[in-house]
């Protein structure tokens, strides 16, 4: 995958730049990948402290994962759209996107392997077809790449921030203004390594939001991702004092039985890698979400 350079990358150390733009990684991991030759500059292996130049071509390859023993499973996934290059598939709440150590079944990937005739291989055997992710207890739409050409194209669109990703979230508290932008870097929480947090040395993270409806003690929002950091919307909303209802990591106690955060990836839009047509797909809120809203009062999404 080609890494697009930003203006602030020029003159920066290679490892420092990459840790800011590669999801779910650390500086040590980036340095190891550079040493393994998985990250190259102008086709050559360089040192982690290499200083980036204006016309450099940086390419990044995922490690090939072997002996994964990941098997197709009929999970009856809802395929919203499919052609020879891409698919848009609904991930239900409670389902992990891809297998990990000790969890090789029941994931979104297991279902994709059963229902789709091909998947890209760029992300290795544990994440075939996976271009981006949403959390286990977040429901909604995911783009899926069926070949490597489509995968590279969709990844580049994500990197260039041209993919439309809109979420619906119910948060604690009544937000007084109709719209806002949260621009705060996100990284690993130094006090709790299983959580993310807004930290000074984190990766750039930007979330836009618009108020859909206000209730007595809650606000229904549309959140638009400009970047895609781990737990981004959940961390950002908690950071400004309006945590997502039902969020077990970043939220607060709630009277509703939600089995996780009320956060739904309802819209995804992108340029088709082959036809170059702009496609937009939407999905309705899950029943659990609408039941909570019905308790709060009438609403329209």
pLDDT band at residue 66 using 50, 70 and 90 as cut-offs = very low
Please, what is the average pLDDT of the chain?
90
The string of DSSP codes covering 131-189 is S----TT-EEEEEEESSHHHHHHHHHHHHTT-SEEEEEEEEES---SSEEEEE--EEE-
> For the residues 177-189, what does the mean pLDDT come to?
95
pLDDT at 21 over 80: no
Pick the CATH number of 2-60 from 3.40.50.300, 2.30.110.10, 3.10.290.10, 3.40.50.970: 3.10.290.10
Q: What is the pLDDT of residues 99-141, one digit of tens each?
A: 875 678 899 999 999 999 999 988 777 789 999 999 999 999 9
Contact 221, 171 (CB under 8 A): yes
Token couple for 192? 């709790």
pLDDT of residue 4: 74
Catalytic positions: 135
Where exactly are the structural domains of the chain?
Answer: 2-60, 78-296
Same fold, 2-60 and 78-296: no
pLDDT band at residue 25 using 50, 70 and 90 as cut-offs = low
pLDDT of residue 64: 53
pLDDT at 83 over 50: yes
> For the residues 152-157, what does the mean pLDDT come to?
94
> In the CATH hierarchy, which fold is given to the domain comprising 78-296?
Pseudouridine synthase (3.30.2350)
pLDDT band at residue 65 using 50, 70 and 90 as cut-offs = very low
Q: What is the pLDDT of residues 259-285, one digit of tens each?
A: 899 999 999 999 999 999 999 999 999
Q: What is the pLDDT of residues 228-270, one digit of tens each?
A: 999 999 999 999 999 999 999 999 999 998 989 999 999 999 9
52: left (phi over 0), alpha (psi -120 to 50) or beta: beta
Exposure string of 256-284, with b = 16+ CB inside 10 Å and e = fewer, is: eebebbbbbbbbbbbebbeeeeebebebe
pLDDT band at residue 67 using 50, 70 and 90 as cut-offs = very low
More confident residue, 265 or 203: 265
More confident residue, 19 or 67: 19
């Amino acid at each position: 995958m080609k890494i697009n350079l930003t203006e602030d990358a020029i003159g920066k150390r290679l490892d420092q730049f990459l840790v800011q733009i590669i999801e779910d990684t650390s500086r040590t991991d980036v340095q190891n990948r550079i040493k393994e030759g998985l990250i190259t500059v102008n086709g050559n292996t360089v040192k982690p402290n290499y200083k980036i130049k204006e016309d450099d071509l940086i390419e990044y390859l995922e490690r090939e994962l072997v002996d994964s023993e990941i098997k197709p499973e009929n999970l009856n996934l809802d395929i919203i759209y499919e052609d020879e290059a891409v698919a848009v598939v609904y991930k239900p709440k409670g389902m992990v996107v891809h297998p990990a150590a000790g969890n090789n079944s029941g994931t979104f990937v297991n279902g994709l392997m059963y229902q789709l005739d091909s998947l890209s291989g760029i992300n290795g055997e544990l994440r075939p077809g996976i271009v981006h992710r949403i959390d286990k207890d977040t429901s909604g739409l995911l783009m899926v790449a069926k070949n490597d050409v489509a995968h590279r194209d969709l990844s580049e669109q994500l990197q260039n921030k041209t993919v439309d990703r809109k979420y619906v979230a119910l948060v604690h508290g009544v937000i007084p203004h109709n719209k806002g932008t949260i621009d705060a870097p996100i990284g690993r929480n130094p006090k709790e390594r299983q959580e993310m947090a807004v930290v000074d040395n984190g990766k750039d993270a930007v979330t836009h939001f618009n108020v859909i409806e206000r209730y007595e003690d809650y606000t229904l929002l549309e959140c638009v991702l400009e970047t895609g950091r781990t737990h981004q919307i959940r961390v950002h909303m908690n950071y400004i004092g309006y945590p997502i209802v039902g969020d077990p990591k970043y939220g607060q106690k709630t009277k509703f039985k939600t089995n996780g955060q009320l956060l739904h990836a309802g819209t995804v839009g992108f340029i088709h890698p082959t036809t170059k047509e702009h496609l937009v797909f939407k999905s309705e809120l899950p029943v659990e979400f609408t039941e909570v809203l019905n308790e709060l009062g009438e609403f329209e999404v």
